[in-house]
Copies of this chain bind each other. A is one copy, B any other.
Amino acid sequence: MILNTPIDMHLHLREGKILKDVLPYTESQFAAAVVMPNLVPPVDNKERLLSYKEEILSNSKNFIPLMNVFMREYSEEELKELKEFIFAIKLYPAGITTNSEGGVRGIETVYPVLEIMQELGIPLSIHGETHGFVMEREKEFIPVYEKLAKDFPKLKIIMEHVGTAEMLDLLDKYENLYATITLHHLLLTLDEVAGGMLNPHYFCKPVVKTPKDRAEIQKFVKSGHKKIMFGSDSAPHPIKNKLKGAAGVFSAPVILPALAEFFEEDTETFQKFISDNARENFNIDVPEKKVKLIKEEWTAPYIVGDIKPMFAGKIFKYKVIS
C-alpha cells in the first residue's frame, strides 16, 4: 500500500529533547504536519514562529511543518505579516488543555481578529470545548461553532479532534466548517481510560467518549466525507507528567499501521482521509512524498525517550517502509 503525501493536520512536537525524540516518527510517516503553537511561552509572534519552525527544520530532512500561531488580539498589520508563514490560527478556550491558560475567554474578544482572518484567508483552528461536564463539553460547544460559522461565512473553521458524534452533523450544515479526527477518538472510548485500571496514557482533552460516539465517528470516516481530515493531536508528555495527570495521547509512532488496519483494503478512503481531503479543502501545496506500508508484523515501540506511546508494544499487521 502506497500513500501519497500524508499530512497530519494536528500535531504537537514540543521543543528541545522531546521534539528530537518524537519528530522522526512523524517524518517517517508524513510529508507534512500542522504544528500546534501551545508552547511556553506560546508561539504568537513572527520571531517565535520562525525560530520554532527553524528548530523543526533543523531536526528533519524531508518534512514540511505547517505552522499555527496561538490566538490573541493580533493587529491587521501583524496578521498581514504573519500570513505567508502560517497555516492557521489556533484558538483554545482558556484553561481547557495543556498550556492553554492564556487562551481566549469570551469568543467575542477575538471577533476583530476573525474579521481580518476572514479577509486575508487565514483559517481558524479550534479546540471546541466549554467548561461544562467533561463528557458534554464538546456537545455544549456546538452553538459556538454554529455562531462562528454563521458570523464568518468565508472563514474556514476547523473543528479539531472531534470526539462527539453530534459535532460531525455540522459539516453538512455549514460550508465553512471542517473537522479533524484523531487516532484515539477513532479507536478508543472512555473504557480505555477508566474501564479497567485507570490508564493515564489514554487520558486526553477532549476525553475519548462513548462507544456510540466512536461508532458514529468511524462511520463518518469510512464514508470518505470530504470535510473530514486526519489530525493526530499526538501530544507527547514524559511519563512522570502523565502520572501527574497531564492530558494527551502520544500516537505519532503508530498512526499509519493503526489506520491501515482500520481501513483494511479501502486505500482510496484512507488516501482521502490522510491527505487528499486536507490538500483540497485548504489548497495545501507541499512536495509529493510517497509512504509505503507492507503487510508485515510490526511491534509498536514500548517507549520513546521518556514518553509512552499509544498502543505501546502492540503488534500491527502493517509496517511502514521508508
- Using a CB–CB cutoff of 8 Å, the interface residues on chain A facing chain B are 133-135, 189-191, 193-200, 203, 207, 210-211, 243-247
Contact = CB atoms under 8 A, between A and B. Distances in A.
Given A194-B203, A203-B194, A135 B245 contact: no
A247 B197 contact: yes
Contact of A245 (B190, B198, B245, B246): B198
B245 A199 contact: yes
A134 B197 contact: no
One complex includes copies of this chain to the number of 2
Contacts of A247: 197-198
Contacts of A246: 197-198
Nearest to A207: B194
A243 B243 contact: yes
Contacts of A199: 245
Given A133-B189, A135-B190, A198 B195 contact: no
B245 A210 contact: no
A202 to B, nearest CB: 10
A275 B199 CA distance: 37
A226 to B, nearest CB: 31
A133 B190 contact: yes
A109 to B, nearest CB: 23
A198 B207 CA distance: 10
Contacts of A195: 133-134
A210 B244 contact: no
A135 B210 contact: yes
B191 A194 contact: no
Contacts of A133: 189-191, 195, 210-211
